[in-house]
Structure 1
Amino acid sequence: MGAAGSKLEKALGDQFPEGERYFGLENFGNTCYCNSVLQALYFCVPFREQLLEYYANNKSLADGEENLLTCLADLFSQISSQKKKTGVIAPKRFVQRLKKQNELFRSYMHQDAHEFLNFLLNELVDILEREAKAAKNDQETSPPSEKAANGPNNGLPNGSKKEPLVTWVHKNFQGILTNETRCLRCETVTARDEIFFDLSLDIEQNSSITSCLKNFSSTETLNAEDKFFCDKCCSLQEAQKRMKIKKPPHVLVIHLKRFKYIEQLGRYKKLSYRVVFPLELKLSDTVEDADIEYSLFAVVVHVGSGPNHGHYVSLVKSHNHWLFFDDENVEMIDESAVQTFFGSSQEYSSNTDHGYILFYESIGSGNRN
């Protein structure tokens, strides 16, 4: 980082806590999609703290089988334990493991940051669930005296439903959507819940996150060929359908659908639409019986004019200051600079740096950023 690094370190010294670290990540040939998401996750403080706690409690596993969780925990531990405040770290072990785990990320082609985030969070959940299941099996096969020492066996009565395991990844990122369909003949409402780690929103020109969320939750009428089969009427009926957030997550990840398949072109095109994302976001129209407020703490930005080439960088808020991460380079920016990543109000613009994935944390959920 050279002179830029020393300048940053000087600025950080006056305004940031002693223990915080700001390290660029080396690029191993088109791994900016990975670096930008990792920076956003590192500055998601509850997630980072729980990952480091996991690492501290499972150091004995370091000699065991390596997986994406152990590699990520090792990387975050390396960053947080550096003596210097700034510098560059090579996430080589993590990237190697990622490529070994998923062939999608093996090539040097441009990858999608949202696909990577999705894959990573789901993989972490799978690993934690496997570990919890293995620990439970070990406990069940241990001698009776050992079982007693480990506490009573909270067996479930016959026929009762087993509660799904809630990991610390779920506690940070999982929300619940409810899909409501109201039959217009008998007024019966059918509701189906589904969990999510992020919301993918359709975007329009000169819009905002608030309007995108309203569209996401708007009522749709099902008629003609799209009629709904109502179980009570036992027939196809006209109905109204809407999606609402039943349980909002602590960390709300919003993915803007900037890449759209254009049939006439026979390929995907990047939408450079201007979509305003506020620093403070209220969820009211979209959420069932709640008025939740969120604060923006990270933005993954796609730079480039198309989906198959370009670059990713990230903006991160830490202790009320904004920083810009571009692989190895880190610099402080003014809060007002965030607005330059909203998109373009013209169809053709020289500015191709557009917000792609937004990370909001619910105010009061423990983020000390």
Structure 2
Amino acid sequence: MATIPVVVKHQGTKYDVEVDTDSTGEVFKFQLYSLTGVEPERQKILIKGGQVKDDTPMSKFNFQPGQSIMMLGTPGNKDVLTRPKEPVKFVEDMTEAEAAQQEGAIPAGLTNLGNTCYLNSTLQTLRAIPELQNALGKYEAPSSAMNTTGLLPPLDLTKQLRDLYKSMSETQEPYAPHTFLTSLRSAFPQFAERSRTGNGFAQQDAEEAWSQIVTQLRQKLRVKDTPESPESSFIDKYMSGELTAELECDEPAAREGGEKPVVSKETFLKLSCHIDGNTNHLRDGIANGLSEKIEKRSEVLGREAVYTKTSKISRLPKYLTVQFVRFFWKRETQKKAKIMRKVTFPHELDLVEFCDDKLKGMLVPVRDKVREVRKDEEDIERARKRRKRNGAGEDDIPGGKGAKKEDSKASGTSGDGDVEMGETYKTDAEIDAERDAALLAAKKELNALIDPALANDDGANQSGLYELRGVVTHQGASADSGHYTSYVKKSAPVDAKTGKRKEEDGKWWWFNDDKVSEVTADKIEALAGGGESHSALILLYRAIPLPSAEGTIE
């Protein structure tokens, strides 16, 4: 291979290039593309002896060492090749904290400190809430000065959770949550119960750990929408909903006597999935949980009577916790026994049917428009994939393989004055542009459908649709034994150029104490229960992200 050094001038800059005289013009153009960012098809290269075309042999030009060549052309877009502003750092040269924060890094597991799998699974699932990570990062613990008795106050559970998650973000090695566990047992002595069969600590219920941690966060962790706005509880904003409950006596005599139904508002931090002999799906269990029988005194009847309490959701939080009520107290064994029944649950949950009329009226138009937009997106993507399979070489050639015929239009006049009818065609690029414009208009319409009250509540669900993000599972027949693990859906990485999130790959992280592995979505399908194998106990759902008025996903 013979190479000759030449100088290429482009927009006032000189580039030293080695020309391979055995190659073609196409190779030379790609050399210049890597240096200037100007695509080969946009380059015009001025050389004495002729124009450089893709198939032109470079030996034709009889280059001389140091010869100057002029190149004209500008990049067709802004995504040109540029040198990185920061020097490239290889994983081998990174600190442990830097390596842990790289795209695709395996997250840290948690060491089992003796029957603490219930806590490890809970902590890993709560960690899947990015807003919680941000709020904890800004949390400032109150002063830890001694109290009047001369004793140090109990450890701040919120501070310990902040420090725990920070430490976990800086390593890929298993982390031992000693300080957080000490803080939890100090605040809630039930988690310090000793095992009846050995010297260690007893196994505990993950749902109880979840509830106690969330309750503490509700009291301590505050957030502000703007520097001027008042503080509010993080949990109240992002993880709590509201129920409108109606309590009515079942006996007609009470209603005939003038007793009116009592309507009240209640806050909920989780929805319960009650399991009975007819419960096959999560929807059945939620319906069971929103209707219950209560025995209380009726003032009209002057005695105890049975009442039905029916609840409807009047606010849906951005993050929804659903608990499978699988454990019940069994008198014979004096233990919490487990309901083994198989209950399926969806990756996408629609809760509109459980909302009251006011909220339902706000959500239905948005939900229906979301489904319409999704169908349009799927149709566009299918069309592009089909075209790619069939060959895209002629897509942008009028009348070519990718061209689409439009209605006939007048295209000229014959010599005798008659109008000649012709056919016009659209290229695939033009059709794609029209579809993209229509899709953007639909996304803007969707944004306009959001009720102002919901639009101003960024901690609420604005469509009624949720996507599954985390699952806490239990293996075994009793809450006091067995084993807990958790599954957390992998978040899409952020594109370094655009700052937007890429498409998710559908994979999940399985946290089994200190062991962390990647699994596919079909593993989640197997968590519906039906035996002593791993079954879902707690589900963490997130409101599906909606496109902004500009069409981007928020």
CA deviation after TM superposition for structure 1 residue 341, in Å: 0.9
**Contact kept in structure 2, 1:303 and 1:310, CA below 8 Å:** yes
Q: Residues 42-121 of structure 1: matches in 2 within 5 Å?
A: 42-54=127-139, 58=140, 66-80=155-169, 82=170, 86-107=172-193, 108-121=201-214
Q: Which has the larger strand fraction?
A: 1
| 1-structure distance, mates of 2:180, 2:274 | 32
Deviation at residue 249 of structure 1 after TM alignment: 1.6
What code does the residue aligned with 2:163 have? D
Given the superposition, is the C-alpha separation of residues 61 and 212 from structure 1 closer, same or farther in structure 2, using an over 3 Å criterion? same
CA contact (8 A) 1:304 1:352 kept: yes
Closer, same or farther in 2 for the Cα pair 1:361/1:59, shift >3 Å?
Answer: same
| Contact 1:227–1:239 under 8 Å retained in 2 | no
Q: 1:238 to 1:62 in 2, by over 3 A?
A: closer
Runs of 4+ in 1 over 3 A off after TM superposition: 59-66, 182-189, 225-230, 233-241, 262-268
Distance in 2 (alpha carbons) for counterparts of 1:23 and 1:88: 5
Higher RCO by CA contacts (8 Å cutoff, separation 6 or greater): 1
1:6 maps to which residue? none
Q: What are structure 1's unaligned runs of at least 5 residues?
A: 1-15, 133-149, 155-162
Q: Which residue of 2 aligns with 1:31?
A: 116
**Please, which runs of 5 or more residues in structure 2 have no aligned partner?**
1-100, 147-152, 194-200, 250-254, 364-463, 492-503, 548-552
Secondary structure class of the residue paired with 1:30? coil
TM-score, normalised by the number of residues in structure 1: 0.73
| Cα separation, 1, equivalents of 2:167 and 2:221 | 21
Deviations 1:169-192 (A, max 9, x none): 221211112211346445844211
2:162 maps to a residue whose letter is A
Rate the CA distance shift 1:226–1:235 in 2: closer, same or farther, 3 A: closer
Closer/same/farther in 2, CA of residues 340 and 240 from structure 1, 3 Å limit: closer
Q: Secondary structure at the match of 2:122?
A: helix
Residues 324, 360 of structure 1: alpha-carbon distance in 2 compared, 3 angstrom cutoff: same
Counterpart secondary structure, 2:477: coil
Aligned-partner Cα distance in 2 for 1:240–1:168 = 33
- Equivalent pair of 2:244/2:264 in contact (CA under 8 Å): yes
> In the alignment, is the contact (CA less than 8 A) between 2:272 and 2:286 conserved in 1?
no
Partner in structure 1 of residue 486 of structure 2: 314
Preserved CA contact (<8 Å) 2:135 2:221: no
Distance 1:214 1:17, change over 3 A: farther
Letter in 2 for 1:168: F
Residue 261 in structure 1 maps to residue 329 in structure 2? yes
Task: Please name the residue that 1:248 is paired with.
Answer: 316
Q: What is residue 302 of structure 1 aligned with on the other side?
A: 474
Q: Deviation per CA, 1:294-343, whole angstroms, max 9, x where unpaired?
A: 11100100111222211110011022321110000000011011111101
Residue identity matched to 2:138? E
Q: How many residues are matched?
A: 309
Question: Cα distance 1:310–1:17, how it changes in 2: closer, same or farther (>3 A)?
Answer: same
In 1, the alpha carbon distance for the partners of 2:472 and 2:167 equals 22
Classify the secondary structure of the residue corresponding to 1:298.
strand
In 1, distance between residues paired with 2:167 and 2:107? 12
Shift of 1:262: 3.9
Q: Distance in 1 between matches of 2:110 and 2:175?
A: 5
Deviations 1:88-119 (A, max 9, x none): 11111111111222211113101011111111
Residue 286, structure 1, aligned to residue 358, structure 2: no
Superposition RMSD in Å: 3.6
Look up the equivalent residue of 1:334 and give its one-letter code: T
- The answer on whether the counterparts of 2:322 and 2:539 sit within 8 Å (CA) in structure 1 is yes
Tell me the TM-score normalized by structure 2. 0.50
Q: What is the aligned-residue identity percentage? A: 27
**Bigger mean CA offset, 165-174 vs 279-288:** 165-174
Tell me how far 1:50 sits from its aligned partner.
1.8
Instruction: Note the C-alpha offset of 1:18.
Output: 2.6
Aligned residue in 2 for 1:334: 520
Matches within 5 A, 1:138-217: 166-182=232-248, 184-185=255-256, 188-205=260-277, 207-217=280-290
Matching of residues 116-135 of structure 1 within 5 Å: 116-128=209-221
**Corresponding residue for residue 160 of structure 1:** none
Checking the alignment, whether the CA contact within 8 Å between 2:280 and 2:344 is kept in structure 1 is: yes
Q: Does 1:324 align with 2:390?
A: no
